[in-house]
Chains A and B, each alone.
Chain A
Amino acid sequence: MRNLVAVPVILLTVMLQSAVISRVYLLSGIADLPMVMLAAWALQENVDSAWHWAAATDLLVGFISGISWVVPFFGYIGIVFFARIFQRRVWQAPLLAMFSITFLGTIIVSLLSISTLSFAGVPLPISDVLGLVTLPSVLLNMLIAIPVYVVMRDLARWVYPSPEVE
């Protein structure tokens, strides 16, 4: 039953991404709210449903976006994978882990997008892509990382309350 909270959260996140976040440009880059949300969720200690969230977000983003489903599938699964590793390694510095995963996740999704589009024959000048899309996207994702982390931490505490210590 606790996993059901994923439905409204993921729906709201993807709707916000499509309707609002995708219209806020920095050069040609935009923030990736679903990715940052997944990273923040997977970094929470008590959360055991991050893989399910990643799968659901893959489906929804793959359905809405014109890009191949390969990008969100491997991108978001990879982000959860690295976030779980970071969560165990750097659990004492969650914000550092959040920034690291956000940076890594943006690079992973960008590389997957570039690879997929290049494979499909779409011309992508690599210098333009890195300078005008990937780096601005990294910066925007970093900007939203902290507020998203705070919201997801509160949500995780609500969904997975810690046992009372007597």
Chain B
Amino acid sequence: MALALGGYFSSASNVFTGSLVNLQTWFSARFVAVQDFLTSPRDIASLRQRNIELEGEVSELQAQVIQLQQQVGKTQILAALVDFEQANPENRYLAAAVIGRDPSPFLHYVIINRGSNDGILRGMPVVTNQGLIGRVDAVIADAARIQLITDPASSVNVLLQNAETEASLVGSVTGDVTLQLIPQDINIQPGDLVLTSGLGGGYPPDLIIGQVGNVRSRDFDLFQQATVQPVVDFNRLEIVLVIVNFKPVDISPLAPAPAP
């Protein structure tokens, strides 16, 4: 005892306890290995089951996220349309969803889910919160066909706001819109705003269409031409507004008859 207290056995004690610890570690490691071996099959099965459950939950949550994102997108569109309606109180609007497009690639028409039962008439202008998209071309009870301003047969009388001149906006089979009949002496610049002029009675005035892109002015041409970048993305039309209190004017009887 006195020797131990005096530290004379410390090296022997260290060797002994070290051996014990190593032995204990060896036993413990073997035990854990055996325990893992015995319990792991059950754990893997339960983990697989749990994994399947969690994957199912993740799928459901992802579906919910997609649905909510769609609802958020639709809500944002509707909110923008409501803002547009409040900012333009002079018109009465009817919202409609775009449910289809014309089967022919040569035409640019969309089909909406509102028709004569909702008070829609042929010739009514159609807009989004961004700007003009076209006008009603044909109506049945619960649906209507809209001729977009990108249609090759479409022609809209427009006003170039900065240049304070009028021109004609025509569509094309590729969906591009072009300004025509711009007098040569008018100075137009890329970025100039293009609005409906209201001339001809087909559309109400001051509806935004887009901005002037490239200007083509040649000395030997009678008029200048310019491309227009529309403010509306015509490939992503989802909800539109029909201006229901606008009565288009048919000026065709006033057009001069062709000379015999």
A132 CB–B CB distance under 8 Å? yes
Are A66 and B174 in contact (CB-based, < 8 A)? Answer: no
Chain A 91-132, CB-CB to B under 8 Å as 1, else 0, gives 000000000000000000010011001001011110011001
Q: Which of A22-30, A37-45, A151-159 contacts B (4 or more CB under 8 A)?
A: A22-30
Partner of B147, one of A66, A132, A133: A66
Are A28 and B104 in contact (CB-based, < 8 A)? Answer: no
Count of A interface residues, CB-CB < 8 Å: 35
A36 CB–B CB distance under 8 Å? no
Are B152 and A117 in contact (CB-based, < 8 A)? Answer: yes
How far, in Å, is A34 (CB) from chain B's closest CB? Answer: 7
Known: A30-B105, A123-B152. A66 touches B175 (CB 8 A): no
Q: Which of A1-9, A11-19, A82-90 contacts B (4 or more CB under 8 A)?
A: A11-19
Known: A25-B235, A120-B153. A65 touches B107 (CB 8 A): yes
For the complex, give the distance between the alpha carbons of A67 and B105 in Å.
10
Known: A25-B235, A28-B175, A128-B173. A67 touches B104 (CB 8 A): yes
Closest 8 CB pairs of A and B: A18-B100, A22-B101, A30-B105, A66-B109, A67-B104, A122-B153, A113-B106, A28-B174
Question: With contacts A66-B138, A66-B145, A133-B106 known, what are 4 further pairs, Cβ within 8 A?
Answer: A66-B104, A66-B137, A113-B106, A124-B152
Chain A residues, CB < 8 A from B147: 66
- Chain A interface residues toward B at CB < 8 A: 14-15, 17-19, 21-23, 25, 27-30, 32, 34, 61, 64-67, 71, 110, 113-114, 117, 120, 122-125, 128-129, 132-133, 137
For the complex, give the distance between the alpha carbons of A128 and B176 in Å.
12
For the complex, give the distance between the alpha carbons of A23 and B234 in Å.
11
**A21 to B, closest residue via Cβ:** B103
B102 CB–A CB distance under 8 Å? yes
For the complex, give the distance between the alpha carbons of A30 and B137 in Å.
22
Chain B 121-158, CB-CB to A under 8 Å as 1, else 0, gives 00000000000000001100000010100011100000
Chain A residues, CB < 8 A from B102: 18, 22, 64-67
Give the bracket for the number of chain B residues in contact with chain A: 20 to 34
Main secondary structure of the interface of A (DSSP, over half): helix
**B109 to A, closest residue via Cβ:** A66
For the complex, give the distance between the alpha carbons of A51 and B217 in Å.
53
For the complex, give the distance between the alpha carbons of A23 and B152 in Å.
18
For the complex, give the distance between the alpha carbons of A125 and B171 in Å.
12
B99 CB–A CB distance under 8 Å? yes
